[in-house]
């Protein structure tokens, strides 16, 4: 089992930055890729970013490429999402997740464990 706790969400003006953190506990975190997804009101959950267990491979959704950066600290069992140049359309609940395998998976079906989510609101 893995427990995930997200933090760092909040209200920010367009053009601002936020850094999300996701602390993982439990043995199943080891050797697994991790990802961030988001869900806006009335929309389906969508992929945002993923990072492999080694940290060497990172995948991003086209909508956040160049603005968001995913990273991880395996010693602290934590994954981060640095979000810069935020836009109102980035407003959503952001979820972190642990995948079944080491690679940086982009499909939600490849993830076994999910956090409760943290709200990010970007005002215009």
35 touches 17 (CB < 8 A): no
In this prediction, residues 10-38 reach a mean pLDDT of: 92
Q: Which residue is associated with the tokens 């959950």?
A: 45
pLDDT over threshold 80, residue 27:
no
Q: How many CB atoms lie within 10 A of CB 48?
A: 25
Q: What HEC string does 30-88 produce?
A: CCCCEEEEEECCCCCCEEEEEECCCCCCEEECCCCCCCEEEEEECCCCEEEEEECCCCH
> What is the dihedral angle through the alpha carbons of 117, 74, 87, 106, rounded to the nearest 10 degrees?
-80
In this prediction, residues 92-112 reach a mean pLDDT of: 95
- Considering the chain, what percentage of its residues have pLDDT values greater than 90? 89
- Considering the chain, what percentage of its residues have pLDDT values greater than 70? 99
pLDDT confidence of 17, banded at 50, 70, 90? Answer: very high
Q: Provide the pLDDT for residue 84.
A: 98
Q: Provide the pLDDT for residue 61.
A: 98
In this prediction, residues 100-120 reach a mean pLDDT of: 95
**pLDDT tens-digit readout, 46-100:** 999 999 999 999 999 999 999 999 999 988 889 999 999 999 999 999 999 999 9
pLDDT confidence of 28, banded at 50, 70, 90? Answer: low
pLDDT over threshold 80, residue 31:
yes
């Amino acid at each position: 089992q893995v427990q995930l706790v997200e933090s760092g969400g909040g209200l920010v003006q367009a053009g601002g930055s936020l850094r999300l953190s996701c602390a993982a506990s439990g043995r199943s975190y080891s050797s697994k890729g991790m990802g961030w997804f988001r869900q806006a009101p009335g929309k389906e959950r969508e992929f945002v970013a993923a990072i492999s267990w080694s940290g060497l491979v990172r995948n991003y959704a086209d909508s956040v490429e160049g603005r968001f950066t995913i990273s991880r600290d395996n010693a602290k069992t934590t994954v981060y999402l640095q979000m810069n140049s935020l836009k109102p359309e980035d407003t959503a609940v952001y979820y972190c997740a642990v995948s079944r395998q080491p690679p940086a998976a982009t499909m939600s079906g490849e993830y076994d464990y999910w956090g409760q989510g943290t709200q990010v609101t970007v005002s215009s």
